[in-house]
């Protein structure tokens, strides 16, 4: 029997919503999500209830899944981030918040008396995760770059050295894309002669940029971390938020539980998991490869450099961290902020030069800022 058609009023509402989103996408410059993707060949998979329930490495009685594809995605990221060839585990998440929650969850299960340290520029969701997990924590000051204040971290860990440190690090803070010096942090903990510690790395955006930039800082498993999270809908691009989490397998093995109902292991945060997003990530990885992503990263860096110069030409002090696609500048007027969807915090704003951000968009933004500063309307 044919399905009933949508009422005309509802169809108009969808059409209007589409037009609204299409219009807003043309001035989408303040958030780290690429719009440069095309997954049309995968649309046929939307006809099925694909569900990657449970552990991606364990079979399940729910066989309408893409777990094999998911494993290939995780393997690619493991190689990219120098994880131990036989000692890693991971899965495709619904985004960075879940990946960070998982890393903290692992740390809590491994170090029950641990103390979490994270910088004041860490993503807002982390403090929420800490409340959910009921983990004791201390916020550390940050440097002007957005990096964690290493002296404050050292002294705070030293004062609380009776508790194993769980250090939450950032490879690209939210507002300034500051990158914590993880080798320095690792050395610091060893210098304090602390036998047990855990380092999680939030590499939501930077994890897909630094690997493709020459002379970028060391930040991944080669630096001694225990787990990391990278977003998929940011640099890679996806119509559905997603990401990956990677961890040392020996840690995950300690929390795994067998679930008879679905015939698989319970090792992830959620039970049912998205089976479509692994397809998106796999498709992009196969389509672009290392060289394609390298070209994208270099393009984004070049656009960020152009943006700093464009701001400076009209007397605005803009800056960016090395290897960063985030351009920081004084908080713009509300009219500019609203039109360009610019993220602000305190007295600063930023734009993020993802793949879809062009130099003509930068020029138009700068012209709007200049016009607004003399009282002219922003169109």
Q: How far is CA 239 from the centre of its chain?
A: 15
> Cα(243)–Cα(290) distance, rounded to whole angstroms?
18
> How many angstroms separate the Cα of 231 from the Cα of each of 115, 123, 171, 361?
26, 13, 12, 25
**Is 324 among the residues known to form the active site?**
yes
Residue 170 bridge partners (DSSP): 202
Length of the chain: 379
Query: Do 335 and 351 contact (CB within 8 A), yes or no?
Result: no
> Cα(34)–Cα(234) distance, rounded to whole angstroms?
6
> Cα(37)–Cα(238) distance, rounded to whole angstroms?
7
- Catalytic member of 61, 324, 360, 373: 324
> Cα(183)–Cα(252) distance, rounded to whole angstroms?
23
161: DSSP letter: T
DSSP E strand boundaries for 120-164: 137-140
> How many angstroms separate the Cα of 253 from the Cα of each of 31, 56, 107, 224?
36, 13, 13, 19
Contacts of 289 by beta carbon, 8 Å cutoff, 6+ apart: none
- Cα four-point dihedral sign 329, 335, 339, 343: positive
In this structure, the strands spanning 326-330 and 348-352 are: antiparallel
For 314-352, the DSSP string reads: TT---B--TT--EEEEEPPPHHHHHHHT-EEETTEEEEE
> Cα(146)–Cα(176) distance, rounded to whole angstroms?
6
Query: Do 90 and 226 contact (CB within 8 A), yes or no?
Result: no
Residue among 198, 201, 156 nearest 180 (CA): 201
CB neighbours of residue 371 within 10 Å:
16
| Residues belonging to the active site | 324
């Amino acid at each position: 029997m044919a399905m009933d058609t949508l009422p005309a009023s509802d169809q108009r509402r969808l059409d209007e919503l589409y037009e609204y989103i299409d219009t807003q996408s043309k001035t989408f410059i303040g958030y780290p999500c690429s719009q440069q993707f095309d997954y049309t060949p995968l649309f046929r998979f939307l006809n099925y209830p694909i569900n990657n329930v449970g552990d991606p490495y364990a079979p399940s009685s729910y066989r309408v899944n893409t777990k094999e594809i998911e494993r290939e995605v995780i393997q690619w990221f493991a190689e990219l981030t120098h994880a131990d060839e036989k000692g890693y585990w991971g899965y495709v998440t619904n985004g960075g918040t879940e990946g960070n929650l998982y890393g903290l969850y692992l740390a809590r299960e491994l170090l029950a008396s641990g103390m979490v340290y994270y910088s004041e520029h860490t993503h807002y969701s982390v403090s929420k995760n800490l409340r959910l997990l009921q983990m004791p924590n201390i916020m550390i000051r940050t440097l002007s770059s957005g990096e964690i204040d290493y002296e404050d971290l050292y002294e705070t860990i030293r004062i609380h050295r009776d508790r194993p440190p769980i250090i939450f690090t950032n490879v690209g803070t939210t507002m300034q894309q500051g990158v914590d010096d993880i080798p320095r942090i690792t050395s610091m903990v060893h210098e304090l002669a602390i036998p047990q510690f855990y380092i999680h790395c939030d590499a939501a955006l930077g994890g897909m940029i630094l690997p493709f930039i020459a002379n970028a800082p060391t930040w991944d498993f080669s630096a001694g971390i225990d787990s990391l999270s990278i977003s998929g809908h940011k640099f890679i691009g996806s119509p559905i938020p997603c990401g990956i989490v990677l961890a040392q397998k020996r840690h995950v093995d300690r929390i795994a539980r067998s679930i008879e109902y679905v015939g698989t292991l319970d090792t992830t945060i959620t039970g049912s998991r998205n089976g479509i997003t692994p397809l998106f990530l796999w498709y992009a990885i196969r389509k672009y490869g290392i060289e394609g992503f390298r070209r994208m990263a270099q393009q984004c860096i070049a656009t960020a450099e152009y943006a700093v110069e464009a701001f400076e030409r009209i007397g605005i002090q803009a800056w960016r961290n090395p290897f960063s696609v985030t351009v920081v500048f004084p908080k713009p007027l509300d009219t500019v902020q609203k039109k360009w969807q610019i993220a602000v915090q305190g007295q600063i704003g930023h734009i993020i030069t993802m793949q879809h951000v062009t130099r003509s968009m930068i020029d138009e933004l700068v012209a709007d800022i200049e016009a607004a500063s003399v009282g002219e309307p922003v169109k």
